[in-house]
Amino acid sequence: MKNYLNQTDKTVEDELHDECGVFGAYDFDGNDVASTIYYGLFALQHRGQESCGIAVSDTEGPKGKVLAHKDMGLVNEVFNAKNLENLKGNIGVGHVRYSTDGSSVRENAQPLVLNYVKGTLGLAHNGNLLNALELREELSYTGAIFQTTIDSEVIAYLIARQRLKVGTVEEAVKGAMQKLKGAYSLIVMSPRKLIGARDPFGFKPLCIGKRDNAYFLSLETCELDTGGADFVRDVIPCEIVTITKDGIASDTSLCQEKKARCIFEYIYFARPDSDIDGMSVYESRINAGKILAKPHPVEADLVVGVPESGNAAALGYSMQSGIPYGNAFIKNNYVGRTFIKPKQEQRESSVKVKLNVLKEAVAGKRVVMIDDSIVRGTTSARIVSLLKNAGAAEVHVRISSPPFKHPCYFGTDIPSEDQLIASGHTVDEIC
């Protein structure tokens, strides 16, 4: 979910953008789902730490009555026992959000709730649209009045417009998808249906879970584990799944042969205890470390990973190389990811606060430092300095992903090649 109106003012970070997290639930027995969605969002907090929200409805109650609560802050800051108790409904969607500089306001928090002629829609969106501005202008010329600066509202309006032309909400979602260009996972709540959709290439993940007589749509499988749900299957790229009391209906008519997974879902974005499209994130990181060790051996005393996403790759490097694996960093989990800070000086400060080095672990040792990726290189340089200042005799940097040379507007949201150190430098020059 990108704020495309403020791209020129955006400060580029040394970390990759992790857009948002989405979760949906439908309890056929009529039980309230707000608390389940809350725990699902809690498991997705790594996807966004700026705002969050939950919208619910009662499938047996009046059509169009949606109860919602959203605000700025972490999941446990925005929600408490009282406001969760007030969210009465057996169908609902939830969202955690990360945004770029200039767009961190409550109005842009999700889920979006849209009232229109045919009823009410609740929408949670993760991803980037390439043609958001074009679609926004088109909708504005035909009477749409936008309340936010995010492309998610464009999707909501498209679905509402399509719904006036077709017989069902899922057909409206299908019509909207034919106009979208980009990478996305969508969860749409109508008064009696929960709908999930995934972009044509499969850049963004989405899966289905089940617990007792309740079904879930989840960005990652770790959300299902948190709620004690069983994994049913992944939503395939460009599939539309519709969950009703009659079960799950699938529309694959828009599916195409070409697929293009986002490698950074495995390298960085997803939690290591998630599986995406049948592949364990943890195992993929282990394997990346093993592969890295073969062409880039080194004589060293210790292999360490930069927490959290570098740890598994470091373990894999250790397993392949035979160099002992250890912990060199103590992470303050209350700081959050460094790219959340909108200004460079704030990011620099947060790196220092977020990581501290165990001097006893590295003093006098030749250390191999494994990180998941390198964007501009500034954060890596600061971490190397931390290790050297703690007494490391040598620091050998190894990156578990290939050189990041070109912008990707589908997911990582890096605006230009000149912000990528690997674009204008060889590996030797970077080192």
Whether residue 413 is contained in a domain is answered as no
**Residue 299 CB-density burial (10 A; 0-12 exposed, 13-18 middle, 19+ buried):** exposed
Q: 418 falls in which pLDDT band (50, 70, 90)?
A: confident
245 and 390 both lie in a single domain: no
Whether residue 420 is contained in a domain is answered as no
Concatenated DSSP letters of 173-213: HHHHHTT--EEEEEEEE-SS-EEEEE-TT--S--EEEEETT
For 392, the domain range is 278-400
240 and 291 both lie in a single domain: no
254 and 307 both lie in a single domain: no
Pairwise CA distance, residues 49 & 45, whole Å:
6
CATH of the domain at 209: 3.60.20.10
Of residues 302, 311, 349, the one with CA closest to residue 330: 311
Whether residue 320 is contained in a domain is answered as yes
40 and 177 both lie in a single domain: yes
312 and 254 both lie in a single domain: no
* 174, 119 contact by CB (below 8 A): no
Average pLDDT over residues 328-332: 87
Pairwise CA distance, residues 186 & 173, whole Å:
9
- The total number of structural domains in the chain stands at 2
Whether residue 428 is contained in a domain is answered as no
Q: How many CB atoms lie within 10 A of CB 406?
A: 12
pTM (predicted TM-score) = 0.88
69 and 110 both lie in a single domain: yes
Query: pLDDT (tens digit, 9 = 90+) per residue, 65-79?
Result: 999 999 999 999 999
| Domain limit, last residue, from 248, 269, 290 | 269
Helices 311-321, 281-293: crossing angle, 10 deg rounding: 40
149 and 242 both lie in a single domain: yes
Q: What is the pLDDT of residue 103?
A: 61
320 and 338 both lie in a single domain: yes
Query: pLDDT (tens digit, 9 = 90+) per residue, 219-233?
Result: 999 999 988 999 999
Average pLDDT over residues 51-64: 92
Residues involved in catalysis:
20
Whether residue 177 is contained in a domain is answered as yes
Average pLDDT over residues 107-135: 91
233 and 346 both lie in a single domain: no
- Residue 398: strand pairing partners: 370
241 and 301 both lie in a single domain: no
Beta strand pairing call for 207-211 and 214-218: antiparallel
Whether residue 145 is contained in a domain is answered as yes
Whether residue 81 is contained in a domain is answered as yes
93 and 145 both lie in a single domain: yes
Query: pLDDT (tens digit, 9 = 90+) per residue, 177-195?
Result: 999 999 999 999 999 999 9
